[in-house]
C-alpha cells in the first residue's frame, strides 16, 4: 500500500472576494514591529488559507512583490471568567517577507 498522498489542485488565482477574506487584519505587536525591520509584515489570516493564496492576495491588494510567506497556527488558550470556563479562538498568522524596495504601510487601509 502506497503512502503517497493525493494532492488536490489549488487554483492559484482566487476570486476577488476571497482576496479580501484572506487578509483579515494586520498584527501590530512588539514582535511584528521588530520583524518590520527585516522587511516583513504580519497579517492574521483564516485557518484554511494556504501560502500561495496568501501570496497572491498580498501581491494583488497591496501591489508589492512577495519574497516568502511563513505561517503559524496559534491554539486558543483556555480561560476562566467568573468561574465559567471558556476558550479563545485559534488564530493563524502569516509572516510575509517582501522583496527589496517594497513596503506596506499597515496604518492605512486597503
Q: What is the pLDDT of residues 22-42, one digit of tens each?
A: 999 999 999 999 998 999 999
Q: Tell me, what's the pLDDT at 104? A: 87
Per CATH, the number for 16-98 is 3.30.70.330
Run of H or E including 86:
strand 84-87
Cα gap 89→106, rounded to integer Å: 23
The β-bridge partners of 80 are 85
Q: Tell me, what's the pLDDT at 3? A: 64
Q: Tell me, what's the pLDDT at 108? A: 73
Cα gap 72→45, rounded to integer Å: 10
Q: Tell me, what's the pLDDT at 9? A: 60
List all residues 6 or more positions away from 94 whose beta carbon is below 8 Å from its beta carbon. 42, 43, 44, 45, 49, 51, 54, 69, 70, 71
Model pLDDT for residues 58-101, shown as the tens digit of each residue:
999 999 999 999 999 999 999 999 999 999 999 999 999 999 99
Does 7 score more than 80 pLDDT? no
Domain ranges in the chain are 16-98
Minimum mean pLDDT range among 9-13, 32-36, 52-56, 77-81: 9-13
Amino acid at each position: 500500500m502506497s503512502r503517497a498522498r493525493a494532492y488536490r489542485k489549488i487554483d492559484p488565482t482566487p476570486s476577488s472576494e476571497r482576496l479580501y477574506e484572506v487578509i483579515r487584519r494586520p498584527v501590530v505587536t512588539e514582535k511584528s514591529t521588530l520583524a518590520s525591520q527585516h522587511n516583513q509584515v504580519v497579517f492574521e489570516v483564516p485557518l484554511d488559507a494556504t501560502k500561495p493564496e496568501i501570496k497572491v492576495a498580498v501581491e494583488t491588494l497591496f501591489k508589492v512583490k512577495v519574497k516568502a510567506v511563513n505561517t503559524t497556527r496559534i491554539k486558543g488558550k483556555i480561560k476562566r471568567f467568573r468561574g465559567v470556563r471558556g476558550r479563545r479562538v485559534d488564530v493563524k498568522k502569516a509572516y510575509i517577507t517582501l522583496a527589496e524596495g517594497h513596503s506596506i504601510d499597515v496604518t492605512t487601509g486597503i
